[in-house]
Amino acid sequence: PKKRLLSRDTEGLQLCLACRNMQRAQAARSALLASHPTARVALLQMDTSSVASVVAAAQEVKLRYNRLDYLYLNAGIMPNPQFDVRAFFKGLFSSRVVTMLETGEGILTQKDCVTADGLQEAFMTNLFGHFLLIRELEPILCHAGWTSQLIWTSSGNAHRLAFDTEDIQHRRGNQPYSSSKYASDLLSLVLNTRYNKQGLYSSVTCPGFVITGLTYGILPCFPAFIWTLLMPLLCLIRMLTNTFTLTPYNGAEALFWLFKQKPESLDPQAKYHSLTSWLSNNYTQPRKMDVDLETSEVLFEKLLQLETEVRRKMKGKQKESQLARHSSTAGSR
Ligand SMILES: NC(=O)c1ccc[n+]([C@@H]2O[C@H](COP(=O)([O-])OP(=O)(O)OC[C@H]3O[C@@H](n4cnc5c(N)ncnc54)[C@H](OP(=O)(O)O)[C@@H]3O)[C@@H](O)[C@H]2O)c1
């Protein structure tokens, strides 16, 4: 949504792009400055799949800014996706065709892996990295007298059945993406109950079906030009479902729409969908999420426990490396 934010009359707007790959970040910054030469766009290195990287990035943010008005939690991966072609064609001729096209239900599974911190990668990248970031940034997100907004990019693929409070990292199943996105819906709900009094609000969005790096990964046998050739057909599917937003510009509609709303007026139980009509008009529509406060409280407590664990481990590692440095300097004396 960066480009769309800058296209508004937003005098005084300062953007900070937190990215894992600084070369791509620099390219994104240059592209923004080419169209908006006076824009204030800063960069920050952050990898949401690494505990140390998230904590270091948050420290840097706190040094640079004393207040954050919006935090877009958009980083996401779908690790090693497997597309079930048979289920897809079967679904095409069934009564659940629209649901399948809208949510990917029944046709998508993934093979997850474990990060250097010993956490499931999809869980860490899509959810827990963001959770740690929010916790670290609390002092500049929560301030008496003004509001701040967390804006999550969730997915229509977030399903309750893929999520288990006994396995929040989804170590055992084959839908880690769906599980992590459902967990972000739950987390947003509980963040509102815990933080609204301190001026911090959280909302969830779904960009719809967008042709991006993530989509290319689902069908790697489809070169990019095939997607371009298929565009007219994909646009026709909008007659069946307006979730085929297709371009990042359209997909960012809800992210941009939320920027303009008073956070107090938003529904914590709603997911805000970017939609594109068959006449190519973009709009945002709230739809009730399949979430309940009880489950979201359980998730929140488990995330807090995990946070304590990873912080303890991080401190242990820091101590070890300090000791190693100390003994190597003592040895060289
Ligand atoms: N495309 C869709 O149809 C669709 C549908 C529903 C939801 N979504 C959600 O939309 C969001 C954006 O995805 P996209 O479709 O735009 O896919 P994308 O092109 O693959 O973009 C994903 C973005 O997340 C960043 N990212 C991934 N892992 C990261 C990490 N460990 N640390 C920091 N950044 C990381 C990527 O950075 P790099 O540039 O370094 O790779 C990239 O900028 C995701 O949360 C995705 O789940 C997409």
Ligand 1 atom with least separation from CA of 53: 32
Measuring from atom 8 of ligand 1, which residue has the nearest CA? 155
Asked if 201 and 104 touch (Cβ cutoff 8 Å), the reply is no
Long-range contacts of 216-223 (CB under 8 A, 24+ apart): 217/78, 217/81, 218/78, 218/81, 218/83, 218/108, 219/83
Mean pLDDT of 49-68: 97
Q: Which amino acid is at 61?
A: V
Cβ < 6 Å from ligand 1: which residues? 19-21, 24, 46-49, 74-77, 125, 153, 155, 206-207, 209-210, 212-215
pLDDT of residue 331: 72
Ligand 1: which of 214, 216, 243 to mutate, judged by most atoms within 8 Å of the beta carbon?
Answer: 214
On whether residue 9 sits in a domain, the answer given is: no
On whether residue 58 sits in a domain, the answer given is: yes
Average pLDDT over the chain, rounded to whole? 93
pLDDT tens track for 127-184:
999 999 999 999 999 988 899 999 999 999 999 999 999 999 999 999 999 999 999 9
The terminus-to-terminus CA distance of the chain in angstroms comes to: 55
Mean pLDDT of 238-259: 95
pLDDT of residue 182: 98
On whether residue 241 sits in a domain, the answer given is: yes
On whether residue 184 sits in a domain, the answer given is: yes
How many domains does one find in the chain? 1
Dihedrals phi, psi of 81, to nearest 5 degrees: -70, 145
pLDDT of residue 9: 63
Q: What is each CA distance from 223 to 217, 219, 235, in whole angstroms? A: 10, 9, 19
Ligand 1: which of 110, 206, 212, 287 to mutate, judged by most atoms within 8 Å of the beta carbon?
Answer: 212
In terms of residue numbers, what domain contains 273?
Answer: 46-332
Q: How far apart are CA 68 and CA 307, in angstroms?
A: 22
pLDDT band at 307 (very low <50, low <70, confident <90, very high): very high
Q: Count Cβ atoms below 10 Å from residue 96 Cβ, excluding itself.
A: 14
Lowest mean pLDDT among 25-34, 57-66, 108-117, 318-327: 318-327
Asked if 157 and 109 touch (Cβ cutoff 8 Å), the reply is no
Tokens of 203: 């909302």
Answer yes or no: is pLDDT of 63 > 80: yes
pLDDT of residue 47: 98
CATH number, residue 159: 3.40.50.720
Catalytically active residues, by annotation: 177
Characterize 175-205 residue by residue with b for buried, 16 or more Cβ atoms within 10 angstroms of its Cβ, and e for exposed.
bbbbbbbbbbbbbbbbbbeebeeebbbbbbb
On whether residue 118 sits in a domain, the answer given is: yes
Q: Which residues contact 291 (CB under 8 A, 6 or more apart)?
A: 160, 182, 185, 186, 189, 269
